[in-house]
Amino acid sequence: MVSGTGVGVVETRRAVVFSGDRPLTLASGASLPEVEVAYETYGELNADRSNAVFICHALSGDAHAAGIHQGDDPNRPGWWDNIIGPGRPLDTDRLFVICANVLGGCKGTTGPASTDPATGKPYGLRFPLIQVRDLVEVHRALLRELGVERLLAAVGGSLGGMQALQWSIDYPEEVDGAAIIAASARLTAQNIAFSAVAREAIMRDPDFAGGDYYGKERRPDPGLALARMIGHITYLSEESMREKFGRRIQDAEVPRFGFDVDFQVESYLHYQGQSFVERFDANTYLYMGRVMDYFDPFEDPVYVQSQISRGETSFLVLSFDSDWRFSTEHARVMASELRGAGGTVTFQEISSPHGHDSFLFADPPEYHRTVTSFIDRLAGQRGIGSRGDA
């Protein structure tokens, strides 16, 4: 389904959305005196400001969803480039697409590595615990800065899908449609267990220093790399790992029979861990994992029903049959909860070999076709021209 030349060269911008006498009050009651957000936009906002789509990224994502930055490798575009651009499911010839780094992030939005105005030092673990609701509030504030009052759609996979879901429940009058992909409304004990082990890997690293490793010679890179390796295993399916690696030996014909890296899958995981520490912050990994652990938007069904009845949000809930991290059962429960609350829901399970990471791929074609149809239907309801009319 990917076609065209994409969105080309893009720039990450920043906006201060809370400051001074307007701090951010978090769902916990804690507050942040200043919040800055890193974001990118693709396409143009139309005259009646009705064509805005917000991309909510996953745990390790950031604002750079599409295109390339000046000087970057053109073969390494933004993390969801295959879905954003002319002729793609989020067609920038007629849509205004926004993606922003989340609160607590480490790629330009206020988070644990940011300076605490009260101390002049990085927050570290003094950064307050946050919830998905807080991510939504920060991005709503960004939309106000951009002059957008209502979204055509909020779209996200994994943690991004959780944010799209929470946004549509808390502010149904602001979201025409929510595309919730490879996500969960309530983590299982198994999922929380994976998060716990990853968290321990980071916090037990001797260089973690209670979260105050900023500016020091050593960081908890081994712990973060191990946490990433653990997480990455859960993002892949057995089929995809078998096809990619099987039991093949790395750089040899026969096993070396030792404890160093011997199998290709081991080498791959080490590469994933090392490349991750070069672009991500250990404290942010802790905070984002905890955000997902505590997420439970249907905890108060009376509230959910009253909220959904206030708007006319349409929901697309997508799962992938090889995703064992957030299996189709998670999606079925989510769809059932939304329908029970009066929501209009389209649910579909898509066959894919890629596991949880399926939402990042352009194949199978059915995936992009389903997203395209959902967005086109919303656009038609808002009187936004058909594909090719822009």
pLDDT at 390 over 60: no
pLDDT at 357 > cutoff 60: yes
Residue 130: predicted pLDDT: 98
- pLDDT at residue 259, rounded to an integer: 83
Tokens of 320: 């992938």
Q: What is the pLDDT of residue 388?
A: 63
Which positions are catalytic? 158, 323, 356
At 386 the pLDDT is: 72
| Whole-angstrom distance, CA of residue 216 vs CA of residue 237 | 38
Work out the percent of the chain whose per-residue pLDDT is above 70. Answer: 98
Global pTM? 0.95
Report pLDDT for 248: 87
- Phi/psi region, residue 250 (left: phi>0; alpha: psi -120 to 50; beta: rest), is beta
Q: How many CA atoms, within 13 angstroms, populate the side-chain half-sphere of residue 94?
A: 21
In terms of pLDDT, which residue wins out, 262 or 109?
A: 109
CATH class of 9-186+295-381: alpha beta
Beta strand 31-32 with 314-320 is unpaired
For residue 250, the model assigns a pLDDT of 85
Contacts of 98 (CB under 8 A, 6+ apart): 39, 40, 41, 52, 53, 54, 55, 142, 143, 146, 148
Query: Among residues 4, 87, 78, which one has the least CA distance to residue 39?
Result: 78
Q: What is the pLDDT of residue 109?
A: 98
Residue at 178: amino acid letter: A
Instruction: Give the C-alpha distances (Å, rounded to integers) separating 213 from 39, 125, 208, 224.
Output: 27, 11, 6, 13
Whether residue 144 has pLDDT greater than 60: yes
> 132 and 158 in contact (C-beta within 8 Å)?
no
- How sure is the predictor about 226, in pLDDT bands with cuts at 50, 70 and 90? very high
Give domain limits for the chain.
Answer: 9-186+295-381, 191-289
**Cβ–Cβ contacts within 10 Å for residue 258, how many?**
7
Question: Which residue, among 111, 130, 131, 183, has the nearest Cα to 154 in the 3D structure?
Answer: 183
DSSP 3-state assignment of 239? helix
Beta bridge partners of 143: none
Task: Kindly state the tokens that stand for 330.
Answer: 């998670």
What pLDDT sits at residue 138?
A: 98
pLDDT value, residue 387: 73
pLDDT tens for each residue of 261-299:
888 999 999 999 999 999 999 999 999 999 999 999 999
Please report the pLDDT score of residue 5 as a whole number: 60
Cα distances from 273 to residues 63, 91, 217, in angstroms, run 21, 34, 20
Provide the pLDDT for residue 261.
85
The SS3 of residue 69 is: strand
Q: Tell me: the pLDDT tens digits for 168-225?
A: 999 999 999 999 999 999 999 999 999 999 999 999 999 999 999 999 999 999 999 9
191-289: CATH class: mainly alpha
What would the mean pLDDT of 298-317 be, rounded to a whole number?
Answer: 95
